A = this chain, B = another copy of it.
Amino acid sequence: MERFTVRSTRRVEFLNITARVQNAVAQHGLQDGLCTVFIPHTTAAVTINENADPDAVADMIQIIGRLIPQRGDYCHTEGNSDAHMKASLLGCAQTIVVEQGILQLGTWQGIYLAEFDGPRTRTAWVKCLPTHGKEVR
């Protein structure tokens, strides 16, 4: 599989990784099939949402922060129990269709690494599965 890293600069931040995922697909050479983006962390996630208005993403960060506050009556001593729950709610993997070598996304969709316990360097994995077993590349 392909791998890349990104660096978050705040505790909670949505980083647009669409171009990085597209690069990984191109590097692999996948023409037609599925690609799975997998985040090997427990306090970060991957989600697909609005790529145009940054206010929509800012609102999402505010909404999830109000739903699950960082401070609470938690047992886990690392102070990031909220981040674990947020990561599970969005999920650590997304599967996206690839056709003619291009990620198939809706007009307004972008792929985000959702950081919930940054700032940190995070890794994303991209695994490509061709529709027809052995592709001619």
Contact = CB atoms under 8 A, between A and B. Distances in A.
A93 B96 contact: yes
A1 B99 contact: yes
A131 B129 contact: yes
A87 interface: yes
A137 to B, nearest CB: 12
User: How many copies of this chain?
Assistant: 3
Contacts of A88: 47-49, 60, 90
Contact of A72 (B1, B41, B63, B75): B63
Interface string A39-59: 111100001111001011011
Given A38-B95, A38-B96, A47-B91, 16 more contacts: A1-B97, A34-B127, A38-B97, A48-B91, A49-B87, A55-B76, A55-B77, A56-B84, A59-B85, A60-B85, A63-B81, A89-B89, A91-B94, A93-B94, A127-B131, A129-B131
Sorted nearest first, the 4 A-B pairs with minimum C-beta distance are A133-B133, A40-B106, A59-B81, A55-B75
25 contacts: A1-B104, A33-B129, A34-B34, A36-B95, A36-B97, A40-B104, A40-B106, A41-B108, A41-B109, A42-B48, A42-B106, A49-B87, A55-B81, A56-B76, A56-B81, A60-B85, A89-B90, A90-B91, A92-B109, A93-B95, A97-B125, A106-B123, A132-B133, A132-B134, A133-B134
